[in-house]
Amino acid sequence: MSYIGKQPTKAPLTASDIEDGIITAAKIEDGAVVAAEIASNAVTTAKINADAVTGAKIADDAINSEHYTDGSVDTAHIADANVTTAKIADDAITAAKINNDIISGTTELAAEPADTDEFLISDAGTLKRIDYSHIKGGGITMIDNWRLTTSFQTGDANPISSNLERNDNSAPAFGYYGSQMSVSSGIWTFPSTGIYRIDAVAQFSLPGGNQYNGLNIMATANNSSYQTITSNNNFIVNVTDPTYSQTITNCMLDITDTTNQKVKFRIVNQNSSATVLGDSTYDSTFFRFTRLGDT
């Protein structure tokens, strides 16, 4: 470069030598501006293109809940089975959030519940569990019916101990319900504890006079000594043709010990020639047991 006069002294170009607005982007070499040349906090939001920040540019664990817009996390962004019990606040699940098939859609229990099976109840608005043993019972829970199948003559049958059968009629069948009674040598054992009604009916015949036809229900509390707890008597008028009579008695028992508390039935006739009537096709002399409820 040519000069008129004295040649200028060479000196470095400083920022003060450049007028504002002189250097345009076109004058800056691509890649010339590096991170070291950018002042801290100098890049503002306006200088970042939309969608320019990718996941690769975000540090792990850098975004926390303060950066979420309220309601921005929808179900599509929650992985299946990812909401654990610990993430649900106490009392957060209301009735409106429970499906209507919560009961009908559950496996069926096709038998009477065990005593320790549990139910949910509302105790003045507070949910509590309760064992079945505390709420079962109520209503008739057992019915059984036995009869004498063969007639016999006696002045004293203590107890009636043979030719006994459970009613087996089939047109229609007798209605049994619950666990049944058992009998051995005329001694009757209850299937479970409870309040029982016992009905005993005896029919008699005699071609003569019988001052009394007695039917007793006897019970023991120790599986040994028995006492009469109910008794009823009828009579037959002294005639030459067979005359019939029926004696009925019943009682209510509170059975708390099925091992030691048992019953038996006794026939007491003034005339030992009196016949106690039995039949295997219908009830003539018979015994019925009904469990009414818990003891």
Q: Where are the domains of the chain?
A: 85-134, 142-293
Rounded to two decimals, what is the model's pTM?
0.60
* DSSP 8-state code for residue 114: P
Q: Is 197 exposed, middle or buried (0-12, 13-18, 19+ CB in 10 A)?
A: middle
86: three-class secondary structure by DSSP = helix
In this structure, what are the phi and psi dihedrals at residue 25, rounded to the nearest 5 degrees? -60, -30
142-293 CATH: 2.60.120.40
Q: Pick out the chain residues at pLDDT < 70.
A: 1-3, 5-6, 8, 137-138
CA 176 – CA 143 distance, rounded (Å)? 5
CA 110 – CA 225 distance, rounded (Å)? 42
- Please give the pLDDT value at position 98: 87
Half-sphere exposure of residue 267, counting CA atoms within 13 Å on the CB side? 30
SS3 content of the chain, % helix, strand, coil (to 5): 10, 35, 55
206: three-class secondary structure by DSSP = strand
Q: Are 190 and 179 in contact (CB under 8 A)?
A: no
Q: Are 116 and 134 in contact (CB under 8 A)?
A: no
b (16+ CB within 10 A) / e for 50-69: eeeeeeeeeeeeeeeeeeee
CA 143 – CA 289 distance, rounded (Å)? 6
- Please give the pLDDT value at position 291: 95
In this structure, what are the phi and psi dihedrals at residue 199, rounded to the nearest 5 degrees? -115, 130
Q: Are 244 and 274 in contact (CB under 8 A)?
A: no
